[in-house]
């Protein structure tokens, strides 16, 4: 399959759209499967959709392997092709075929297979003096994770760890919600059983977040190295993880409100950490 895709790209002249009408095309199969599984292809390519995400991938220096346009998006293709570059395969599909592959209900007519950056635990831990880490521990809502990735980059986080039970970072809603931050921010999927000892060995202070109980946010010391744990939207952190924490913080809020959205809470904490560092 990889050889077939490579040959197809070789036959495609730079700046030209290659028509594809059959759903059995190898690259279309890879795109469809990557969207459906919310995981990379065997070659490590991630499926993305939409003009904004494609432009962010290119602006971030990510290599885009293939770009797929719908027939009705040919005018859009003419605008984007100069940005894509000669090394990228560009294909145009019938509108109905394109809609059957992408997850969006109102597609913009462009999708792509792109390679995301890969980081090791050691590479992330080397950044522990640059800002706090964020640990998404069992987050299940893709919108929340997308927001956290975006806020982590905006407020200078050193990186994001994604532990078991957390929604796939390759989910189309996560990718869209990150607004391109996933192309630039160091992140890693890792089990909490492996992560906690690594953080401990690195002298990282482990900070849990809670709705109402804990040290009030304004009283927290933001001395690095620091890891901020964001738990599941409904259940919060597991009891096992709670026992590992050095401190719990609480965001002051009106008493009748049960809790904040996980993405909003993480954004507030990250902003406060950034404000205090400055």
Q: Of 115, 130, 160, at which residue does a domain stop?
A: 115
Q: Of 115, 136, 171, at which residue does a domain stop?
A: 115
**Per-residue model confidence as pLDDT tens digits over 179-201:** 999 999 999 999 999 999 999 99
Q: Distance (Å, rounded) from C-alpha 246 to C-alpha 199?
A: 12
Q: Distance (Å, rounded) from C-alpha 198 to C-alpha 251?
A: 27
User: Which tokens hold the place of 2?
Assistant: 């990889």
Residue 188 and residue 219 in one domain = yes
Domain count, the chain: 2
pTM of the model: 0.90
Contact present, 188 and 157 (Cβ < 8 Å): no
pLDDT for position 236: 82
User: Which tokens hold the place of 3?
Assistant: 């050889």
Residue 178 and residue 243 in one domain = yes
Average pLDDT, the chain: 91
* Banded model confidence at residue 35, pLDDT cuts 50, 70, 90: very high
Residue 138 and residue 264 in one domain = yes
Residue 136 and residue 266 in one domain = yes
Q: 3-state SS of the chain? A: CHHHHHHHHHCCCCCCCEECCCCCCHHHHHHHHHHHHCCCCCCCEEEEECHHHHHHHHHCCCCEEEEEEEHHHHHHHHHHHHHHCCCCEEEEECHHHHHHHCCCCCCCCEEEEEECCCCCHHHHHCCCCCCCEEEEECCCCHHHHHHHHHHHHHCCCCEEEECCCCCCCCCHHHHHHHCCHHHCCCEEECCHHHHHHHHHHCCCEEEEEECCCCEEHHHCCCCCCEEEEEEECCCECCHHHHHHCCEEEECCCCCCCCCCCHHHHHHHHHHHHHHHHC
Residues of the domain holding 258? 121-277
pLDDT exceeds 80 at position 9:
no
Write down the residue that tokens 């929604």 correspond to.
167
pLDDT exceeds 90 at position 7:
no
Contact present, 169 and 147 (Cβ < 8 Å): no
Closest CA to 163 of 233, 249, 230: 230
**Per-residue model confidence as pLDDT tens digits over 205-263:** 999 988 778 899 999 999 999 999 999 877 789 999 999 999 999 888 776 666 788 99
Residue 84 and residue 183 in one domain = no
The residue-averaged pLDDT of 96-113 equals 94
pLDDT for position 234: 79
**Per-residue model confidence as pLDDT tens digits over 118-177:** 999 999 999 999 999 999 999 999 999 999 999 999 999 999 999 999 999 999 999 999
The share of the chain scoring above pLDDT 90, in percent, equals: 77
Residue 196 and residue 170 in one domain = yes
Which CATH number covers residue 16? 3.30.1330.30
């Amino acid at each position: 399959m990889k050889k077939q895709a490579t040959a197809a790209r070789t036959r495609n002249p730079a700046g030209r759209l290659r028509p594809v009408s059959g759903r059995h095309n190898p690259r279309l199969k890879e795109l469809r499967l990557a969207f459906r599984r919310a995981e990379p292809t065997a070659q490590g390519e991630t499926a993305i959709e939409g003009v904004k995400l494609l432009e962010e991938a290119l602006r971030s220096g990510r290599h885009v392997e293939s770009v797929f346009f719908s027939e009705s998006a040919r005018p859009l293709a003419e605008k984007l092709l100069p940005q894509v570059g000669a090394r990228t395969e560009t294909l145009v599909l019938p509108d109905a075929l394109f809609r059957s592959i992408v997850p969006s209900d109102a597609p913009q007519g462009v999708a792509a297979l792109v390679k995301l950056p890969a980081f090791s635990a050691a590479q992330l831990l080397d950044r522990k003096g640059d800002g706090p880490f964020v640990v998404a521990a069992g987050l299940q809502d893709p919108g929340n994770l997308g927001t956290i990735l975006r806020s982590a980059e905006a407020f200078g986080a050193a990186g994001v760890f994604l532990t078991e039970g957390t929604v796939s970072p390759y989910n189309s809603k996560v990718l869209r919600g990150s607004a391109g931050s996933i192309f630039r921010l160091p992140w890693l999927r890792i089990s909490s059983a492996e992560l906690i000892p690594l953080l401990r060995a690195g002298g990282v202070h482990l900070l849990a977040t809670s709705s109402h109980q804990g040290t009030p946010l304004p009283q927290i010391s933001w001395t690095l190295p620091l890891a901020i744990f964001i738990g599941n939207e409904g259940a919060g952190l597991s009891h096992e993880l709670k026992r590992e924490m050095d401190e719990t913080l609480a965001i002051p809020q009106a008493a009748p409100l049960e809790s904040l959205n996980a993405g909003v809470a993480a954004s507030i904490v990250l902003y406060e950490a950034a404000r205090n560092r400055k």
